[in-house]
Structure 1
């Protein structure tokens, strides 16, 4: 069975407090985009996992796809499978690619072996794998709170916008990003911010990590400014970086060019 785990962008991201368990609480809108990996899972005589595409740090045993399989296997005695992941979504980019791979593994296994797990149950498994994994079970726009794993549905249609996502090849670890942040409560309600026209988001919808990371990585600020200069209605870093995206009303300009070492995706939302 073949499926295509997709990325997400953050529309606003506020780090609100440090938790007793060492994680952070946040507020953000998660919005799916169609930059995708490819994941195939087939029944097999022996367990196997292999990857192509972008190189993934670490060994296969630490991959979230394999961890997701092991998690379900504990409760459902799953037979061996052969998993093949073709990695396209950049890592360390704030796009949630690894989390999507894990959630899609749960979704595929649920369908392949007719486990009859509802979305709520799949989300509970996904929460054990990573803070934003559960988002990719339903894969719909939400306001995420707490660790990024508690969701409130949000009515938000950006289908008239073209999204350009640019990853400049700067790998920012979660530890580095959060080590630079000073949690604080946002001054505005996320639901109210998103109800405003996209044209005013530039002034009101912020990603807290930009203040911490732009001075250290000025290339990211330059990239955001370039998207605005090209006519983006709204531009922001996504997640804890380092991908930056721009929302363009209608089509993106044809002359929007980036260095060859950048990874770029664009498409309708």
Structure 2
């Protein structure tokens, strides 16, 4: 069985308050994009995970795919499985690749072994794996708030646009991104994003992390500026970085050659 866990971008990201537990309350819109990994599962004598494509660091037992499988196996009789992940979504980019892999693992197991779990039940399992994992269960435009784990649907359709994602050859750690963040009340309520023309997003939709990340990594700001130079109607860092996306009505003819060498480009 094969599935293709897709990435997401954050359209707007407001850090609105620091919580007593040390976490921060956020507001953002998750939007699914077609950039995807490939995930295969087959029955085997021993449960294991192999990886191709982008190198995945760490022990397989700590991978979210393995954790998702182990989580369901606590409640259901599942066979030993061999997972193979072809990794395409870059790490440390704010694109949710690991969370997508975990959520799709849950959905694949539910379908393959007829566990009859509802979306709500799958979301409950996914929430135990990571704050944004539940988004990938329904995998549609969503307003997220709380610590990024409370969801409301948003009727947002960008199918008439092209989305370009670029990432430099480094990542931004979450700790680093939060270090200089200043919570503030947003000027625009992202629940109303779908009612605002994309051409007006540049003046109204902000990612608060850009203020804390750009001074440390000016290369990311340069990539954002370059996307605007190439004709993007909106460009921003996704999540806490380091990927930047641009939304285009018409893609430039020579896009790849117009961007710096040595960066990840998805179009």
Post-superposition shift, 1:193?
Answer: 4.0
| C-alpha displacement of 1:133 | 0.5
SS state at 1:76 partner: coil
Note the C-alpha offset of 1:135.
Answer: 0.4
SS in structure 2 opposite 1:225? helix
1:59 counterpart = 2:59: yes
The whole-number CA distance in structure 2 between the counterparts of 1:127 and 1:101 is 14
Q: What is aligned with 1:244?
A: 244
Please tell me whether the aligned partners of residues 193 and 204 of structure 1 are also in contact (alpha carbons under 8 angstroms): no
**Matched residue, 1:31:** 31
Corresponding residue of 1:16: 16
What are the residue-to-residue correspondences of 1:72-151 with 2, within 5 Å? Answer: 72-151=72-151
Summarize deviations over 1:133-188 as a string: whole Å, max 9, x none: 10000100010111211111111111110000001122111111122212222122
Q: For residue 179 of structure 1, what is the aligned residue in structure 2?
A: 179
What does the per-residue CA deviation read over 1:15-73, in whole Å, with 9 as the maximum and x for residues that have no partner? Answer: 11222333221100100000000000112222111111111121111100000001111
Q: How does 1:198-237 map to 2 (within 5 A)?
A: 198-237=198-237
Q: TM-score scaled by structure 1?
A: 0.96
SS class of match (2:74): helix
Instruction: Give the SS at the match of 2:248.
Output: strand
What TM-score comes out, normalization by structure 2 length? 0.96
Which residue of structure 2 aligns with residue 261 of structure 1? 262
Runs (4+) of structure 1 exceeding 4 A deviation are none
Whether the 8 Å contact between 2:178 and 2:212 is mirrored in structure 1 is no
CA distance in 1, matches of 2:80, 2:9: 34
Note the residue ranges of structure 1 that are not aligned, 5 or more in a row: none
**Could you list the per-position Cα deviations for residues 208-247 of structure 1 after superposition, in whole angstroms to 9, with x for gaps in the alignment?**
0001111111111111111111110000000000000100
**How many residues are paired up?**
265
Instruction: Provide the C-alpha distance between the structure 2 equivalents of 1:21 and 1:156, rounded to a whole number of angstroms.
Output: 33
What is the root-mean-square deviation in Å for CA atoms of aligned residues?
1.1
Contiguous gaps of at least 5 residues in structure 2: none
State the partner residue of 2:158.
Answer: 158
- Per the alignment, residue 7 of structure 1 pairs with 7
